Structure 1
Amino acid sequence: MTSIISKIKANPKLKRLALSMLIPKNDNRPRLWVRWFLNPFKHKKGAGSIIRYNTRLDVFPFNNFQLGKNSVIEDFATINNGVGDVIIGDKTIIGIGNVIIGPVTIGSNIMFAQNIVVSGLNHGYEDVTISPAFQKVSSKQIIIEDDVWVGANSVITAGVTLGKHCIIGAGSVVTKDIPEFSIAVGNPAKVIKKYNKESSTWEKISP
């Protein structure tokens, strides 16, 4: 199966044909037959996990989507693996209205509040004779390690890693890696506290 997908991706004509079979023209959602007959066999949902009825699953069989055990994707969230895998661990909450666009790896025991955007996708803009809407897209892996808490209305941009047990304040825009056991806030997000393991306290970071 993997070798067939690789051959299709490497051949522009086959790729266009395959995409037309999977995705309706002028749409970014998989066709109904893909959602009913392909995705259930391709993608993995762990025991005890819940995907709410109003979740928009724009997931395709040519990339991976995986949801771990006892995790929840709340209503009005959108999951899109069109340009890269979306992997979600165990006991993780994807909050109401979240948008997750791969390539993204999300660990276990994570809390995403409401209206968070996590996107590994960027559009080109360099050629000023062409609208960015029609320029090539690029993608960079986002990694969110275990025990992270992301506040409402935050944005996590392509290529960022959030270290274990870091906290992202509400409304933050994260454009650079955030180290483990730290608190970051603002636009662009900056670390304001770090956990001192020796003293077992959260210490403020001097400006």
Structure 2
Amino acid sequence: MPLKDKIKSSAFLKKATTWMMRPKQDPKPRSWMRIFLNPFVHQKGKGAIIRRMARVDIFPYNKFSLGSQSIVEDFSVINNGVGDLTIGDQTIIGIGCVIIGPVNIGNNVMLAQHIVVSGLNHKYEDIALPPSQQDVDCKAIHIEDNVWIGANAVVTAGVTIGKHAIVGAGAVVTKNVSPYSVVVGNPARVIKQYHQQEKKWLPV
């Protein structure tokens, strides 16, 4: 049996391993993991930058990769604790963004400031427990190449944003966004689409 499966099948090993990776009630990985383990497990492309003031909650048991010439700005949070997090080439994660896996971000994507992209939800059905003590529900978010997301937008779990789509500032994206479209509002709705024949963006 692989070591990962052996740990998952034993409550004691799972608890001990979790304690070794992070303190109780603290989602941040321990310093020894950030310094000695993560750099050898995860991929960081040529010229990629993670600013010193960014919070990097990255664990070795899920995938993390940052493509070449990509940047994660100060005060952002990137977290792969409950799912893989991949960021493509020449992509910008703006100041104060929160990215919680499972999330896949493509190439040449531009995220402005204070955007939340979270593939994680807490369950709440059991009223005998607070939601913080219930299981989590994860659905991957996919942001395809050349997408631009405006400041303060929110992208919810399970959503796919198609190639070269534009998400307006403050939008709350709860459903898939078609390629080459512009969405705004809460919940986000399509207001423009690019028409190949006319070679222009036209209102819907």
Does the pair score TM above 0.5? yes
Per-residue deviation, 1:184: 0.3
Q: How many residues align?
A: 204
Per the alignment, residue 157 of structure 1 pairs with: 156
One-letter amino acid of the structure 2 residue matched with residue 142 of structure 1: I
Q: How does 1:93-132 map to 2 (within 5 A)?
A: 93-132=92-131
Residue aligning to 1:148: 147
Moved over 3 A (4+): none
Residue 172 of structure 2 corresponds to which residue in structure 1? 173
What percentage of aligned pairs have identical amino acids?
Answer: 57
Partner of 1:74: 73
Shift of 1:6: 3.1
Give unmatched runs, 5+ long, in structure 2.
none
**Bigger mean CA offset, 196-205 vs 101-110:** 196-205
* Partner SS, residue 2 of structure 2: helix
| TM value normalised by structure 2 | 0.98
Please identify, of 11-20 and 42-51, the stretch whose mean Cα deviation from structure 2 is larger.
Answer: 11-20
In 2, distance between residues paired with 1:26 and 1:18? Answer: 14
> Are 2:201 and 1:202 aligned?
yes
CA RMSD between the two structures: 1.1
Partner of 2:29: 30
Structure 1: runs of 5+ lacking an equivalent: none
Query: Which AA in structure 1 matches 2:129?
Result: I
The CA deviation at 1:7 is: 2.8
Question: C-alpha displacement at 1:10, in angstroms?
Answer: 3.5
For residues 191 and 8 of structure 1, what CA distance do their matches in structure 2 show?
Answer: 46
Provide, for residues 149-202 of structure 1, a one-character-per-residue CA deviation record: whole Å limited to 9, x for no partner: 000000000000000000000000000000000000000001111110111111
Q: Which amino acid aligns with 1:39?
A: N
Task: Please report how far the alpha carbon of residue 8 of structure 1 lies from its aligned counterpart in structure 2 after TM superposition.
Answer: 1.9
1:129 aligned counterpart, secondary structure:
coil
Please give the TM-score of this superposition, normalised by the length of structure 1. Answer: 0.96
Q: Which amino acid in 2 is paired with 1:96?
A: I
